[in-house]
Structure 1
């Protein structure tokens, strides 16, 4: 029987630990960044001063783990991390993350099922499937916006301790590939504004044309991004593996398997999930799932103080526990702007 909705619950095969303690040097760098953004008179530089104060959404985004992602990306250079965070805060406003790129605006890009979220890998990373053969002939700004939008939805659905996503691209059926311009822009956005968010990119059914296209992109990829690319991963009855060596040494206690068969779709990936994209069913289910999860996280975040630097781990553990209990224990509901209302 075909499945038409995303799998809602992460099922990592391996235990995910809470954030580890920082070294003294790391803690000093983190404290510097946190103090910068939580200063009473803080104003985002190089923007209209009437809008220089951070919004509720931006305070929520500036979590403990978010600050650490930028610190690690800058080798713990606090001042450089601050600059990159402020660059991203401005970019998120200009790109329209919080207002322009709504589900209604982006939906026309999603109707063919060229990209969709479905399930998780063995490490609990949400999986985004991409089918280039379903991409239309015309590229538009909305194409890029859709890529960013679906990545943002994967963040909504990440469980405790998960900070990155898994991307699966199937170039079967004489699949087209995006233009160099679009591809370079996507790469730049990922590497600049989403540090440590791409966990793994699995690419299969490569033709010589696609190989040549990827070769053209390689010079624009930083070393960290290149390391996350896996071409023609091994898929067998035990699941999906990065390499033949991983598949040969795998056993039930091994961490080398990326996807179990039950975590993969059947079409193109030889999994056991008989997923078939039906837009009217899938889209409604995805929006409901993401909106509910994000609303619950906002409720918990407000309950924990509603400030910069709260741990995503604490928020998501609380949401997970409350969802398993079948309720959300709060003293109010959320208004449209994210504030609690009694």
Structure 2
């Protein structure tokens, strides 16, 4: 039987809470936190009536978010503040919270050229891209769709997970985007989503398309380049970065990137018979992400609802609530059966 919906979020991922900061790091973090937590704080260079932070923006400015920008700026507090404010304004202008809705981007989704399915061995959600299933002409909406999907992958990150696994499949005569579109997407990723890419696995890349990646390589951050794996090894044991890793895994000295049961069968040799059925998948994804985000916002409010709240605490609260609900449902089912 085929599967047409996303796999559920792991309820008990092997993850640890954020590590303690050094004295210097804590001092720099406190500077950034105090800046955005100040009474009456408003975004600079924004009309006064719109300059105050919204609830969504305060939720976004988590403990981990501030640290991602501090690390991306090599712990320069002033630069981190500037980049955070630039991203806050970009998110408004781009329409993350209001314009880029499921209804707006759905025409881009009908062929399944992008979908979220499964999690790697680090608990990172897998965002698949299938360029051969491109169904529209290049337009701003294509770019909107890419980042709407990225935002949904972020929704589906469990406790201790801040990055995603990008899975690009160049099988079936896939086409590349234009250099202009590729540069735009890369610029947004590197500027407004620092430290969100955990790994980029690029499968079935023919030698002709290596030229495309050579052309865009100068625009890719060196740290991002290190996360790119071309033509990874996929066998009955799962997905590995290299053939050497696959051999070493048999000896128990290296970990795999994906277990077979978290990979789709088509093109990736997993055990999950996933088939993209837009009418089923789209409704399930939109509902799953909306419900999870609602739970996270509710947990955030319970914890205090302020800038600097830890994503870890919010996600653990949601995980525990979900697990308790599952236990209660199973108990109810058992009681009904016994009666």
Residue in 1 that maps onto 2:275:
276
Query: How many pairs are equivalent?
Result: 326
Q: Is the 8 A contact 2:240 2:246 kept in 1?
A: yes
CA distance in 1, matches of 2:39, 2:274: 50
Residues 1:260 and 1:254: Cα distance change in structure 2 (over 3 Å): farther
Q: Spell out the pairing of 1:1-342 with structure 2 (5 A cutoff).
A: 1-10=1-10, 15-136=14-135, 138-251=137-250, 256-326=255-325
For residues 137-156 of structure 1, give each alpha carbon's deviation from its aligned partner in whole angstroms, at most 9, with x where no partner exists.
51111000000000000111
Deviations 1:36-60 (A, max 9, x none): 0001121101111210000000000
Residue equivalent to 1:340: none
Question: 1:255/1:71 Cα in 2 relative to 1: closer, same or farther (>3 Å)?
Answer: farther
In 2: Cα distance, 1:310 partner to 1:252 partner: 42
| Structure 1, unaligned runs of 5 or more | 328-342
Deviation, structure 1 residue 8:
1.5
The alpha-carbon deviation at position 136 of structure 1 amounts to 2.7
> 1:338: which partner in 2?
none
Distance 1:241 1:50 in 2: 52
Q: TM-score, normalised by structure 1?
A: 0.93
Kept in 2, the 8 Å contact 1:11–1:124? The answer is no
Provide the C-alpha distance between the structure 2 equivalents of 1:117 and 1:148, rounded to a whole number of angstroms.
13
RMSD across aligned positions (CA): 1.3
More helix per residue: 2
Q: Is the 8 A contact 1:10 1:158 kept in 2?
A: no
TM-score normalised by the chain length of structure 2: 0.94
Question: Does structure 1 retain, via aligned residues, the 8 Å contact 2:240–2:258?
Answer: yes
Residue equivalent to 2:331: none
Distance 1:64 1:234 in 2: 36
- Structure 2, unaligned runs of 5 or more: 327-339
Indicate the SS of the match to 1:202: strand
